[in-house]
Amino acid sequence: MNTTRAHGTALQRLAVALLGAVTPEAIGRVAVTVSVQLLAADAGVLFDRTDACTLTSLFSIGWPAEIEAQYRHLALHRGRPLSDAVLDGSAVWLEGADQWRARYPEMAPIGTAGDREATACLPLRVDDRDLGAIVFSFDHPHAFGPDERAYLEAVAALCAQALDRARLLVVERRARADAERERDRMEVLARTAGLMEEPLSVEERLQRLADLMVPALADWCAVHLVRGDEVEQIAVAHDDPARLDFVLRLQERYPPDPSARTGAFEVSRSGTPSFLPDIPDELLVAGAVDEEHLQLIRSIGMRSAVLVPLVVRGHSLGALTLVHAESGRRFDELDLAFVQRVAGTAAVALDNARLYQQQRRIAHTLQAALLPTGLPDAPGLRLAARYRPQTDERTGVEVGGDVYDVVAAPDGRWAAVVADVCGKGPDAAALTALIRHTLRAEVAHGLGPVDALRRLNDAMLREARADGRFATVAHARIAVEADGGATVTLVGAGHPPALVRRADTVELVPTPGTLLGVFPDPVLRETTLRLDPGDILVLYTDGVTEARGVDGFYGVERMTAAAGAPGPWTAAALADALLTDVVTFQQGVLRDDIALLVVEVAP
Amino acid sequence: MNPVPDGPVPGSTAPDGTTPDGTTREETVPGGAAVAEVVLEGELDISTLDGAMRRVEEAERDRPRLLVVDLSQLAFVDSSGVRLVLLAQERARAGGRRLAVRLGTGPALRVFQALGLLDKLDVLPPPPVGETAPGART
């Protein structure tokens, strides 16, 4: 038979066989079994170069088991045939036992063990990459002629290429898995940050955070917060509701010890993370109250845990705990680093949310302080007032705007006022305070409504602000008459018309005048009207009429219609009805403050 | 052609340039437009206030003897727009200049009227069709 053609056919067969193998281990197996068969060798082994000084056997055939085991990992060592082949990059041909003994006396006993004689050690190289080596051994002396050497080297070259391909695949797969892991993590991180911007209570927010972590990052997640001197578990999450329920009931039965030196309580207090890639059973034992508790804890199957503090501005707000259990996954350092990033994001966002809540509380407290604490008892009249601030989610937390008041005048009349300062914020709020207190003072001095507003205007001008801020005011003096009715004297300064309800009719009473706080000489005049028992006067701010909903402006027409609904109405009921109507119209989102002051002449 | 009505206008400085407390203010107006006009469009509220104020201030830079702010084209005006006008008027008064507004017949008129500003501001009718006021029209 033509040897060249036989070699050619054999190489083709090897090439085809190698195509079917994907992993380095599979390459090793195919390369060795097929080429040993083609070469009619008695033994073969393929080594992978695992690092600069080590070869690791991927597959071997034909050697006694002890030899195989002993030489699974080889350290490269010059003066040994395989090492020389790899280090020099050229094959070492040992044609028989005497060549072994002559060239490699130390290794000869091993090399010729089991009646081996001839051995060929061929390096596996592609371009400048050292991939390992392949070794063939024969039971008889064998002269490796030039054709045969070429043939063996061709075999080695094919094996080298196949191994190279397999290694690249491994690297590529690992890189892709890492990239996907990284991308999933970035998504979790982004969603954590986004989560914190929603208007939620602290508890809801933390529960959502915990839910975000499972099952992608862990089987279990818990969040603890420091509250004063104590650390509380605020949220627990697991993808399986049955397991979650089990743990919650377990915690109810055996409440965790807040003074424990380990675990989330400690991490929350100390601000130091705890990394338990493998949770030791001793830890579970230490945390158990009794044998039954221990069994129940063990049944959860916790294997690996990461506990990181939620640290912001140098202090710890609490802790984020992640645990792997039934999935069998294990946390590594990369996971710890990532969880710390998540905790960092969560802590900052949590802090922001807290500051925002604090700000809201302050704003609401201030706002409440700007309004009268109550309405006086006015014999012959029934009074009701309603106030709603602008919905603060749209513009941040602000005070300011509308104000109302009712106070007794020395002449026996009641002085009522509704005012609207333009704009928001502390400056507007300060102006509302000025308005309320100045008018009270002027009323107490016995000034009539027009004069009182003029004095108020002067006081506002004396503030000498340069911001163009102004206020509109409706001011009424109400005298209860002997017959049970009332005489109302109204003065308006740039303010919407007053509304009067008599029986079932509603009338708008314009109160033209100049806004206050800008001009030294506002135009102001009195309008007088008579109310019978049961009649109702409504003073309001343009937060009502200028309210905007999907249907356009609320407007005077709707307000008039609402106020004209069949009665009888009491002041409080009408105030509620009007407020509800305009708030509903805006679907609960108020673009401006609303103030309503309702005066009913007792029937 | 000067669209300002004859005679003293309430709320502005007296013809001889005296301010209410009696001191005479001399104001040299370097050569610049006699009248400038700023036409505002769209909506004027807290979100668009900054942009509108910048345009007015830009027109004021040339120290026109009369600045007209045209609000008649606005689809929406609230207290922000009112403050813009009041502040511009104050600056005009302090600078010995005059400010006038066009309110049209829509939202601007409604708001300014409700606030009692019609007799406190120089309110101009819309320009006759075919005739535009001299000076910058922005």
Cβ–Cβ gap B86/A467 under 8 Å: no
Q: What is the mean pLDDT of residues A165-177?
A: 88
SS3 A270: helix
Domain ranges within chain B, ordered by starting residue: 35-124
Q: Where are the domains of chain A?
A: 3-170, 196-363, 371-601
Q: Give the single-character DSSP code of A77.
A: -
Q: Determine which helix (DSSP H) or strand (DSSP E) holds A142, and give its type and residue range.
A: none
pLDDT band at A393 (very low <50, low <70, confident <90, very high): low
CB atoms B116 and A422 under 8 Å: no
- Predicted confidence at residue A1, as pLDDT, reads 54
Q: How many CA atoms lie within 13 A of A423 on its CB side?
A: 19
- pLDDT, residue A204, reads 84
Residue A84: predicted pLDDT: 92
d(CA A373, CA A405): 10
Please answer whether residues A446 and A409 qualify as being in contact, where contact means their C-beta atoms are separated by less than 8 angstroms: yes
Q: CA–CA distance from B93 to each of A149, A457, B13 (Å)? A: 107, 20, 6
pLDDT at A356 over 80: no
Cβ count near A75 (within 10 Å): 9
Domain A371-601 has CATH 3.60.40.10: yes
Q: At what angle do helices A449-462 and A426-444 cross, to 10 degrees?
A: 140
Residue A174 has pLDDT above 60, yes or no: yes
Q: B9 pLDDT exceeds 50?
A: no
**Mean pLDDT in residue range A66-85:** 87
pLDDT value, residue A183: 86
Which helix or strand (DSSP H or E) is residue A367 part of? helix A333-370
CB distance from A518 to chain B under 8 Å? Answer: yes
Q: By the 8 A CB rule, do A472 and A515 touch? A: yes
What pLDDT score was predicted for residue B18?
Answer: 41
What average pLDDT does range A136-163 have in this prediction?
A: 89
ω before A533 within 30° of 0 (cis)? no
Q: A562-597 pLDDT, tens per residue?
A: 999 887 889 999 999 998 888 888 877 788 889 999
Report how far residue A592's alpha carbon sits from residue A402's, in angstroms, rounded to the nearest whole number. 9
Q: How far apart are CA A8 and CA A147, in angstroms?
A: 12
Mean pLDDT of chain A: 88
Q: What is the mean pLDDT of residues A92-114?
A: 86
Q: Which among A468, A493, A523 has CB closest to B86?
A: A468
Residues facing A478 on adjacent strands: A414, A488
This model of the complex carries an ipTM of 0.73
Whether residue A582 contacts residue A547, with contact meaning beta carbons closer than 8 Å, is answered with: yes
pLDDT of residue B46: 85
Residue keyed to tokens 């609320």: A554
Mean pLDDT across A462-485: 91
Distance CA B37, CA B126 (A): 12
| Confidence bin at B137 (pLDDT 50/70/90) | very low
Q: Confidence class of residue A286 from pLDDT cuts 50, 70 and 90?
A: confident
Whether residue A166 is predicted with pLDDT greater than 70 in this model: the reply is yes
**CA nearest to B99, candidates B55, B46, B38:** B38
Name which of A422, A496, A519 is nearest B83 (Cβ-Cβ).
Answer: A422
Comparison of pLDDT for B135 and B73, the residue scoring more: B73
pLDDT on residue A396: 56
Closest CA to A450 of A404, A541, A516: A516
Is 3.40.50.261 the CATH classification of the domain at B35-124?
no
In this structure, of A108-117, A161-170, A410-419, the range with the lowest mean pLDDT score is A108-117
Contact of A132 with A47, CB cutoff 8 Å: yes
DSSP H helices, A20-120, are: 24-39, 65-70, 81-88, 97-103, 108-111
Q: How far apart are the first and last CA of chain A?
A: 129
* Confidence (pLDDT) at B5: 43
Residues of chain B in contact with residue A467, where contact means CB-CB under 8 angstroms, are 83, 87
Transcribe A414-453 into DSSP letters: EEEEEEEESS-SHHHHHHHHHHHHHHHHHHHTT--HHHHH
Residue of A nearest to B86 (CA): A468
| Whole-number pLDDT of residue A392 | 65
Interface test with B, best of A402, A518, A525, A553 (most B CBs within 10 A): A518
- What is the Cα–Cα distance from B96 to A558, expressed in whole angstroms? 45
Tell me, which fold does domain A196-363 have in CATH? Beta-Lactamase (3.30.450)
Rounded average pLDDT over A337-356: 82
pLDDT number for residue B72: 94
Q: Give the nearest partner residue to B86 out of A496, A518, A520, using CB atoms.
A: A518
Mean pLDDT, residues A484-493 taken together? 96
* Fold (topology level) of A3-170: Beta-Lactamase (3.30.450)
Least reliable range by pLDDT among A137-146, A170-179, A391-400, A418-427: A391-400
Q: Give the dihedral sign, CA A161/A167/A169/A175.
A: negative
